[in-house]
Amino acid sequence: MKLLFLGLLLIPVSVFAAADNGKQILDMEAAIAQQQQEQQILFQQFQMLQELRRHEITQDDQVAPAGSDMITSGEAPKYEDLAEQRKERTERIHRYTDELNELYTRYQETENERRALIEQLNGLKPGEDTSAE
């Protein structure tokens, strides 16, 4: 009788454990999806900044920007103005480079977190070969 009672007690415990394990799996999958979405956003930001930086680098620093007052008035740009434009362009390139490095670091951090979540998820699913990558 005692064994039957213990057996009946173990059934609900295993059902609750399986339900809890299922909730953990769903939570982990949601966290992985969130990490992937964050990575996608970071990657898109990286691409946009990379294109802005590339554009700045390819600009000819000897030509005044189109539509500037100096060109429309017919006057030749002054050396000081060109030097200031060149300095501002160089500063933008450096700022873009710093932001790109920061985005890359954040992307790598989210990738490491995502991989850790995948490993935890695989630990919750013994015997299954799940690769969320």
Return mean pLDDT, the chain: 81
pLDDT at 62: 46
Q: Which of 76-80, 109-113, 126-130 has the lowest mean pLDDT?
A: 126-130
Predicted confidence (pLDDT) at residue 106 exceeds the cutoff of 80? yes
CA dihedral over 36, 42, 45, 46, signed as positive or negative? negative
Work out the pLDDT band at 13, boundaries 50, 70, 90: very low
Q: Which of 24-28, 81-85, 121-125 has the lowest mean pLDDT?
A: 121-125
Residue 22: count other Cβ atoms within 10 Å of its Cβ: 11
Tens-digit pLDDT profile for residues 47-102: 999 999 999 999 865 455 555 555 556 788 889 998 999 999 999 999 999 999 99
Q: Which of 20-29, 92-101, 102-111 has the lowest mean pLDDT?
A: 20-29
Predicted confidence (pLDDT) at residue 133 exceeds the cutoff of 80? no
Please, where are the H alpha helices in 1-133? 2-58, 69-72, 79-124
- Vertex 25, ends 22 and 28: CA angle to 5°? 150
